[in-house]
Structure 1
Amino acid sequence: MFEVPYLASSVLATLRRNGGLWFQGLFVLAAVGGAAATIIALGRSRPTDPIPEGLMFLLIGNMVILVVLAGLIVSRYLSIRKQQAQGSGRLTRRFMLLFGTVALIPAVIVSLFLWLTIARGIDTWLGDTVLTLVDEIGTITAESGEQFAAQFEADAEAVADDVDASAGGFQANPEAFETIFSVLATYREFSAAYIIDRNGYPLAIAENMSSPNHYGRPAAEYFDAADRGETVAVLRPQAGYTFALQRLENYGASYLYLARPVDPELFARLDRARAAGTNYRLAQQRSNEIRTLFVVSYLQIVALVLLLSVRLAQEISERISRPIGRLASAALDVSEGRRGVSVPLPESDDEVRALSNSFNMMTRQLDERRDDLVSAREEAEERRRFLETLLVELSSGVIRIDSAGIVTIANRSAENLLDQGQLEGRLLPEVNPEIWSRVEEVHSRRSQDETFINMMTEDGLRHVRLKVTSDTVGGYVITLDDTTRLISAQRQMAWRDVARRIAHEIRNPLTPIQLSTERIRRRYGDKIDDEDGVFQRCINTILRQVSDIGRMVQEFSDFARMPKPTPIRFDLAALITDVVFAQRVVHPDYKFVLTMPEEGLEMLGDERLLGQALTNIVKNAAEALSRRPETDETQGQVSVTVEKSEADGLIQFAIEDNGPGFPEEARDQLLEPYVTAREGGTGLGLAIVNRVIMDHGGSVQLLEPSHGARGAIVKIVLPHSLASAADAEHQPLEYANEY
Structure 2
Amino acid sequence: MVADTTAQAERAKEIRRRKRERVIIIVALVLVAVITYVETQVVDMAQGLPMGSSLLVFALINVNALLLLLVIFLVFRNLVKMTMERRKGVWGARLRTKLVSTFVLLSLAPTILLLFAAFQFVGASMEYWFSAQVEKSLFDAMEVSDAYSRQLASESSHFAGVLAHELERRGYRLSRPDEKLDELLESRRALFDLAGAKVFSDDLQPLAQATQSGTHASHLQGLPMEMLSRSISTGLPLTHLQPAPTGDFAAAIQPVMQPRKDMKPKVIGAVVAYQLLPPGALARSRQVRKGLEGYRQLKAFKEPIRTNLFITLSIVTLLIVFVATWLGFRLARTITDPLREVAEGTQRVAGGNYDFHITGAGPDEIGTLVNAFNRMTADLKTSKARLDEAQTEMRRTNLELDRRRRYMEIVLKSVAAGVITVDAEGKVATVNPSAERLLKVQGGSVVGRPWKELVDEENRVVIERMLTSLIPGGAGTIDRQMRLTLGGESLSLIVHLGLLKDEQGRNLGMVVVFEDLSELEKAQRMAAWREVARRIAHEVKNPLTPIKLSAQRLMRRYGERVSPDDPVFDECTRTIVQQVEELRRLVNEFSTFARLPSANPAPADLTTIAADAVSLFKSGHPEVNLELEVEGKIPVFELDREQMSRVLINLLDNAVAAVQKSEPPRQVVVRLSYDEILNMVRLEVEDSGPGVPPEDKIRLFEPYFSTKKGGTGLGLTIVSTIVADHNGYVRVQDNQPSGARLIVELPARGAREL
TM-score range, shorter chain: 0.5 to 0.7
Q: TM-score, normalised by structure 1?
A: 0.56
- How far residue 457 of structure 1 moved from its aligned partner, in angstroms, is 3.1
**Range 565-574 or range 408-417, more displaced:** 408-417
CA distance in 1, matches of 2:466, 2:640: 49
1:721 maps to which residue? 749
Question: Contact 2:661–2:690 at 8 Å: present in 1 too?
Answer: yes
Is 1:306 the equivalent of 2:309?
A: no
Give 1:557 deviation, angstroms: 0.9
Kindly provide the amino acid, as one letter, of the partner of residue 22 in structure 1: R
State yes or no: 1:437 paired with 2:447.
no
- Aligned partner (choices 397, 406, 415) of residue 394 of structure 1: 415
Mapped contact 2:488–2:694 kept (Cα < 8 A): no
What's 2:511 paired with?
477
Percent same amino acid at aligned positions? 28
Change (3 A) 1:32 1:395: farther
**Counterpart of 2:599 in 1: which secondary structure?**
coil
Distance 1:723 1:389 in 2: 29
How far apart, in 1, do the equivalents of 2:392 and 2:677 lie?
49
Given that residues 440 and 486 in structure 2 are in contact (C-alpha distance below 8 angstroms), is that contact kept between their aligned partners in structure 1?
Answer: yes
Q: Deviations over 1:61-101 (max 9, x none)?
A: 32476479989x99xxx9xxxxxxxxxx9xxx9xx999x97
CA 1:595–1:67: 2 relative to 1, 3 Å: same
**Which residues in structure 2 correspond to 1:30-49 (within 5 Å)?**
31=29
* Partner deviation per Cα, 1:288-346 (whole Å, 9 max, x = no partner): xxxx9999876542232134445667644387667644432232224435579xxxxxx
- Pair 1:63–1:559, CA change in 2 (3 A): same
Q: Which amino acid aligns with 2:486?
A: T
Describe the shift of the 1:461–1:586 C-alpha distance in structure 2 as closer, same or farther (beyond 3 A): same
Within 5 A, what are the aligned runs for 1:374-523?
Answer: 380-421=401-442, 422=444, 423-433=446-456, 436-445=460-469, 446=471, 448-458=477-487, 460-472=489-501, 473-474=506-507, 475-523=509-557
Report the residue type matching 1:455 in the other structure: L
Q: Retained in 2: the 8 A contact 1:603–1:721?
A: yes
Contact 1:594 1:641 in 2 (8 A): yes
Q: Deviation per CA, 1:619-660, whole angstroms, max 9, x where unpaired?
A: 2222233333xxx3x232222222222222222222222233
Shift of 1:577: 0.5
* Counterpart residue identity of residue 302, structure 1: A
Equivalent runs, 1:521-560 vs 2, <5 Å: 521-560=555-594
User: Match of 1:669, SS?
Assistant: coil
Q: Paired residue for 1:695, among 700, 704, 725? A: 725
Q: Would you say the 8 A contact 2:489–2:694 is kept in 1?
A: no
Is the 2:72–2:322 contact (alpha carbons within 8 Å) kept by the matching residues of 1? Answer: no
Unaligned runs of 5+ in 2: 1-11, 38-63, 121-313, 339-359
Aligned amino acid, residue 747 of structure 2:
P
Q: CA deviation at 1:537?
A: 1.1
- Contact 1:33/1:59 (CA < 8 Å) preserved in 2? no
* SS across alignment from 2:523: helix
Amino acid at match of 2:511: V
Q: Is the alpha carbon distance of 1:330 and 1:114 closer, same or farther for their aligned partners in structure 2, counting shifts above 3 Å?
A: closer
Partner of 2:26: 28
How far did residue 378 of structure 1 move? 5.8
Q: Aligned in 2, Cα 1:667/1:591: closer, same or farther, shift over 3 Å? A: same
Aligned-residue offset at 1:477: 1.2
Partners of 2:723 and 2:36 in 1: CA distance: 112
**1:33/1:62 contact within 8 Å kept:** no
The question of whether the paired residues in 1 share the 8 Å contact of 2:644 and 2:722 is answered with yes
Structure 1 residue 507: Cα displacement = 1.0
Whether the 8 Å CA contact 1:499–1:557 is kept in 2: the answer is yes
Cα distance, 1:562 vs. partner?
1.3
TM-score (norm 2): 0.55
Which stretch of structure 1 is more off in the superposition, 595-604 or 331-340? 331-340
List per-residue Cα deviations over 1:581-605 (Å, max 9, x = no partner).
Answer: 0001111222212211353442211
Equivalent pair of 1:37/1:55 in contact (CA under 8 Å): no
Cα separation, partners in 2 of 1:701 and 1:443, compared to 1, 3 Å: closer
Q: Secondary structure at the match of 1:616?
A: helix
**1:552 Cα offset (Å):** 0.6
Q: Which residues of 2 match residues 92-491 of structure 1 at below 5 A?
A: 108-116=105-113, 300-309=322-331, 315-317=360-362, 324-338=372-386, 380-421=401-442, 422=444, 423-433=446-456, 436-445=460-469, 446=471, 448-458=477-487, 460-472=489-501, 473-474=506-507, 475-491=509-525
Give the equivalent residue in structure 2 for 1:276: none
Say whether the 8 Å CA contact 1:35–1:297 is kept in structure 2.
no
Structure 1 residues 496 and 307: alpha-carbon distance in aligned structure 2, compared to 1, 3 A threshold: same
Letter in 2 for 1:449: I
CA contact (8 A) 1:453 1:463 kept: yes
Query: Hey, what's the Cα distance between the residues in 2 that align with 1:424 and 1:338?
Result: 38
What are the Cα deviations for residues 654-705 of structure 1, in whole angstroms up to 9, with x where unaligned? 2222233334442331211110011111100011111112222222222322
Number of the residue aligned with 1:705:
735
What is residue 661 of structure 1 aligned with on the other side?
691
d(CA) in 2 for partners of 1:496, 1:293: 129
Deviations 1:466-508 (A, max 9, x none): 1111122322111111222111111111111111111111111
The equivalent of 1:61 in structure 2 is 73
Residue 430 of structure 1 and its aligned partner are, at CA, apart by 1.5
Relative distance call for 1:376 and 1:667 in structure 2 (3 A) is: closer
Contact 1:605 1:722 in 2 (8 A): no
Q: Which residue is equivalent to 1:622?
A: 656
Deviation string for 1:412-461 (max 9, x for gaps)? 22222222212321111112245543442233222532112222334832
Corresponding residue pairs, total = 477
Bigger Rg over Cα:
2
* Whole-angstrom CA distance in 1 between matches of 2:402 and 2:594: 52
Provide the secondary structure at the position in 2 that maps to 1:408.
strand
Assess if the C-alpha contact under 8 Å between 2:638 and 2:749 holds in 1: yes
Closer/same/farther in 2, CA of residues 53 and 29 from structure 1, 3 Å limit: closer
* Cα distance in structure 1, aligned partners of 2:543 and 2:729: 39
How far is 1:374 from its partner? Answer: 7.1
Cα distance, 1:609 vs. partner?
A: 0.6
Deviation at 1:36, TM superposition (A): 12
Give the secondary-structure state (helix, strand or coil) at the position aligned to 1:405.
coil
Corresponding letter in the other structure for 2:449? R
Q: State the 1:617 CA deviation.
A: 0.8
